Structure 1
Amino acid sequence: MATDSRLIAFYSGKESDHCGRYLQDIQNWTNDRLETIHDYIQWLFPLPEVSQFNAAAPLLTHEVIVEFRSRPDLQQNLRVSFLRMMEFYGLEVHVEPITVTRLPGLTGNSAGWLSPGNHNHLRITRILRCLNLLGLKTEARAFFECLSKIWEDERSKRAPAVSSKTFSYRRGAASDTGIE
């Protein structure tokens, strides 16, 4: 199977990732597994560039982007991945209209990503960009608006969990729509 087809097969539930894991299995992982395993995020939220953390992950191509944008089943499976990661980050997604908010009492595991230099900052930027590229722009916008509020709360702190540089990357990811 061609490299770009692996994502379609993975998101269709027909094939596993490079470690034998299926999409639905990863979506059902515990928060601890999502935190400690680092080579799944590139499959859940692929990008056009090679990841320095998982060279085995397939890349988005023009053809894959077009197929994702045209297939409701793929978009729904991507939406489920997004919802799972929002839960992991202690965020809640509301529908009609789609908004993302911080859960009250964001503490413990769900607040762990709110620390300077945490690896989840890279994951979050990846998620934003992937959602935009694959056609879930409303979800990406809602997520970015929530992250903007968190950044506003953080930036005045002596040691903010989110740096201006990180937020700048997020802003770029939130506006990257790839092909039109």
Structure 2
Amino acid sequence: MSEAIAGPLYAYLAGRGRDSRGRSAADVLGWTDQQLEDTHDYIQWLFPLAIRSGAQPDAPVLTPAEIQAIRSDPRATGTLEQATDRMLQFYRNTPWWLTWQDHNHLRITRIIRSLNLLVGLETARRFHADILALHEAAGAPVNARSLRFWLEAAGS
């Protein structure tokens, strides 16, 4: 399936497209932790969903064709796996999200949902478990609502 038919999110994750600001997935994956924290329009591209983003309403939304194309293309799923590793590294390196409420809690929900949709339940649950381990090690500071959203996103 061509990128034109599948869409911009597929092209981006397959390594042949750029986001609305001209950045490739590889560009974003090379960012510092501070850049990942301070920039708020990349997560919808790295971890897309089939629903509109409340935080970035102009971000593209997955179509059924893109979902199928991403699931069946090892380049796209490979980018998602690299993005998962990078975001987990980010969360391990940065303690500021380990608080009652933080915008990163919404990002974590999105990541888990996107992984569940595009890579599979096992990958989503593994990321969820890693995030919960960080949460527990920090004394369990995250609010119950965020924890519930994460659990629901992981299909539990």
Q: Which residue of 1 aligns with 2:112?
A: 128
| Structure 1 unaligned residues grouped into runs of 5+ | 91-108
Q: Kindly report structure 1 stretches of 4+ aligned residues shifted beyond 4 Å.
A: 1-4, 150-154
More helix by share: 2
Percent identity at matched positions? Answer: 39
1:161 aligns with 2:145: no
TM-score, scaled relative to structure 1: 0.77
Letter of the structure 2 residue corresponding to residue 164 of structure 1: A
Query: What's the offset of the Cα at 1:55?
Result: 2.0
1:25 aligns with 2:27: yes
Within 5 A, what are the aligned runs for 1:90-169?
A: 90=92, 110-152=94-136, 161-169=141-149
Query: What's the offset of the Cα at 1:126?
Result: 0.4
Deviations 1:45-85 (A, max 9, x none): 11111112212211112221111111111111111111111
Q: Which has the higher contact order (CA 8 A, sep 6+)?
A: 2
Letter of the structure 2 residue corresponding to residue 168 of structure 1: R
| Structure 2 unaligned residues grouped into runs of 5+ | none
1:87 aligns with 2:89: yes
Q: Which residue of 2 aligns with 1:49?
A: 51
TM-score, scaled relative to structure 2: 0.88
In angstroms, what is the RMSD of aligned CA positions?
2.1
Q: Which has the larger radius of gyration?
A: 1
Count of matched residue pairs: 154
| Cα distance in 2, alignment partners of residues 169 and 2 from structure 1 | 34
Residue 60 (structure 1) aligned to one of 59, 62, 66: 62
Query: What's the offset of the Cα at 1:137?
Result: 2.6
Distance 1:36 1:135, change over 3 A: same
8 Å contact from structure 1 (residues 43, 57) kept in 2: yes
| Cα distance in 2, alignment partners of residues 64 and 88 from structure 1 | 27
